[in-house]
Amino acid sequence: MRVVIVISILLAIGLIVLIYKRESDISKMLLSFGVLGSILGLALVGTVMRSLMPLFLTHLVALIFSYLGLIYYIFSNKKQWIVWLLPIATLLFYLLLAWIGNEHI
């Protein structure tokens, strides 16, 4: 599993650099690296949700969709903001559940 994650990160970095060399669009490159960094950050932060396994699996699926949205943006130059925000929605839902659960103790 870790090999697939490392290969997908390297693939995204390689695609970003190749498309930048072909199109010379620095704003697209910077946005792509920013989105990739935020996806990686949300993947690291999302490990706190392991106590709720169904929500954690939903978060992983949202991360995969975000990554695919990034690849789609790299090739077609159409931003996918809703898809990129899905992992944040799962984290906010986890925080809501944790806040509601701790309120009644």
Chain segment 38-59, per-residue pLDDT in tens: 999 999 998 888 888 999 999 9
- Give the C-alpha separation, 74 to 16, whole Å: 7
Number of domains in the chain: 1
Nearest to 87 by CA among 36, 22, 51: 36
55-71 confidence digits (pLDDT tens) = 999 999 999 999 999 99
Whether the predicted pLDDT of 105 surpasses 70: no
CB–CB of 74/16 below 8 Å? yes
Question: What is the domain extent for residue 83?
Answer: 2-103
- Grade residue 98 by pLDDT with cuts at 50, 70 and 90: confident
Cα-trace Rg, the chain: 16
CB–CB of 30/65 below 8 Å? no
